[in-house]
């Protein structure tokens, strides 16, 4: 594996691969890699001849009271894990390399999809995500880019962005990687103390139970949301949202919607966790 830090170096490698007719897979990350990231890299490896991984903690997707400064930077350990995963190229740019003119004045924003779920309480977050991913797509010019379904809203927004901006890139969603107790793998899990880590799997359990209620015929989504939100808060979570949403628009689901996502964001202590489950509902005709 080669490690590079500049845009010109990445473009040189990718240009050479494309000239040889090789397909390029790409996995953008913020580092502090875990098995969930490795599963994305394996997905890219299965689909492409070579794999590029980026590690960049992007400041523009963090709000003023969020955890940018304490987000873990573990580049040496990450690089070792990427070698073991069979990565061909690691791109680890500085903030100055990604934002060479300083304060950004050019933004990529996907209207509508960012108004719900995490976007409702993290103003500017998805604008930061779409802008930096657009930059990375222009730099790496991959054939395939792989993202995790744990970040369901992010995946939906990036798919829409890629379609509307005509990026010639196949966007692949990889299944959420979970610990043995069901907790979705996340770099932020490392912030949980022992008691919080014991409690955290209840988030996924609540989603599974709510999903089962819908599959059993329950259509009072507001009632379900209130009941499971109250249950999580009584257990010790600070719930930002627990929503049954239309899987395409991400707006609150109606009784006529058939493709749904049940999504949740909640804090344990100072750690914000997100998760989701998808389901298809068969309506009587």
Three-state secondary structure call for residue 38: helix
pLDDT band at residue 148, thresholds of 50, 70 and 90? very high
User: What are the strands of the beta sheet with 50-55, ordered from one edge?
Assistant: 2-4, 89-91, 50-55, 24-29, 144-148, 170-174
Angle at 190 between CA 33 and CA 245, to 5 degrees: 80
Q: d(Cα 145, Cα 106) in Å, to the nearest integer?
A: 23
CATH value of 2-174 in 2.40.30.110, 3.40.50.2000, 3.40.47.10, 3.40.50.620: 3.40.50.620
pLDDT band at residue 43, thresholds of 50, 70 and 90? very high
- The residues pairing with 172 across neighbouring beta strands, listed in sequence order, are 146
Q: Which residue has the tokens 């005709």?
A: 285
222 Cβ contact partners less than 8 Å away, ≥ 6 residues apart: none
Q: What is the pLDDT of residue 285?
A: 55
pLDDT, tens only, 240-250: 999 999 999 99
Q: Can you say which residues are annotated as belonging to the binding site for beta-alanine?
A: 61
Q: Can you say which residues are annotated as belonging to the binding site for ATP?
A: 30-37, 148-151, 185-188
Q: What is the pLDDT of residue 269?
A: 94
In the predicted structure, residue 201 carries a pLDDT above the cut 80: yes
Contact at 8 Å (CB) between 250 and 158?
A: no
Closest CA to 262 of 249, 248, 245, 274: 245
In the predicted structure, residue 108 carries a pLDDT above the cut 60: yes
In the predicted structure, residue 136 carries a pLDDT above the cut 80: yes
Q: d(Cα 170, Cα 163) in Å, to the nearest integer?
A: 10
pTM of the model: 0.93
Q: What is the pLDDT of residue 41?
A: 97
Residue spans of the domains in the chain: they are 2-174, 187-276
Tell whether the torsion through CA atoms of 167, 263, 53 and 191 is positive or negative: positive
Q: What is the pLDDT of residue 120?
A: 87
Q: Per-residue DSSP letters for 159-205?
A: HHHHHHTT---EEEEEPPPB-TTSPBP-GGGGG--HHHHHHTTHHHH
In the predicted structure, residue 284 carries a pLDDT above the cut 70: no
Q: What is the pLDDT of residue 121?
A: 83
In the predicted structure, residue 283 carries a pLDDT above the cut 80: no
Contact at 8 Å (CB) between 1 and 79?
A: yes
275 Cβ contact partners less than 8 Å away, ≥ 6 residues apart: 150, 176, 184, 203, 204, 207, 263, 264
Contact at 8 Å (CB) between 50 and 23?
A: yes
User: Which CATH class for the 187-276 domain?
Assistant: alpha beta
In the predicted structure, residue 267 carries a pLDDT above the cut 80: yes
Report CA-CA distances (Å) from 79 to 24, 42, 88, 95, 202. 19, 15, 11, 19, 33
Q: Can you say which residues are annotated as belonging to the binding site?
A: 30-37, 61, 148-151, 154, 185-188
Active site residues: 37
Q: What is the pLDDT of residue 164?
A: 97
Q: d(Cα 143, Cα 50) in Å, to the nearest integer?
A: 10
pLDDT, tens only, 157-190: 999 999 999 999 999 999 999 999 999 999 999 9
Instruction: Burial-class residue 105 by CB neighbours within 10 Å (0-12, 13-18, 19+).
Output: exposed
Q: Encoding tokens for residue 68?
A: 């940018």
């Amino acid at each position: 594996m080669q490690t590079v830090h500049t845009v010109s170096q990445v473009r040189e490698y990718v240009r050479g691969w494309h000239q040889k007719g090789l397909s390029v897979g790409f996995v953008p990350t913020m580092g502090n890699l875990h098995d969930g990231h490795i599963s994305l890299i394996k997905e890219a490896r299965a689909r492409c001849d070579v794999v590029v991984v980026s590690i960049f903690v992007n400041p523009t997707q963090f709000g003023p009271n969020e955890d940018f400064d304490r987000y873990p930077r573990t580049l040496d350990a990450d690089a070792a894990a990427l070698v073991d995963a069979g990565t061909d190229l690691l791109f680890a740019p500085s903030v100055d390399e990604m934002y060479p003119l300083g304060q950004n004045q050019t933004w990529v924003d996907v209207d509508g999809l960012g108004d719900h779920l995490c976007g409702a309480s993290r103003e500017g977050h998805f604008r930061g995500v779409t802008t930096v991913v657009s930059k990375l797509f222009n730099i790496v010019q991959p054939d395939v880019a792989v993202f995790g379904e744990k970040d369901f809203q992010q995946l939906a927004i990036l798919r829409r962005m890629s379609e509307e901006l005509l990026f010639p890139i196949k966007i692949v969603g990889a299944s959420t990687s979970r610990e043995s107790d069901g907790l979705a793998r996340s770099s932020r899990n490392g912030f949980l103390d022992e008691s919080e880590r014991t409690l955290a799997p209840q988030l996924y359990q609540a989603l599974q139970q709510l999903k089962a209620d819908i599959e059993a015929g329950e259509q009072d989504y507001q009632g379900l949301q209130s009941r499971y939100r109250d249950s999580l808060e009584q257990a010790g979570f600070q719930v930002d949202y627990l929503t049954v949403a239309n899987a395409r628009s991400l707006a609150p689901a109606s009784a006529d919607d058939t493709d749904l996502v049940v999504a949740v964001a909640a804090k344990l202590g100072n750690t914000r966790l997100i998760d989701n489950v998808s389901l298809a509902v068969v309506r009587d005709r």
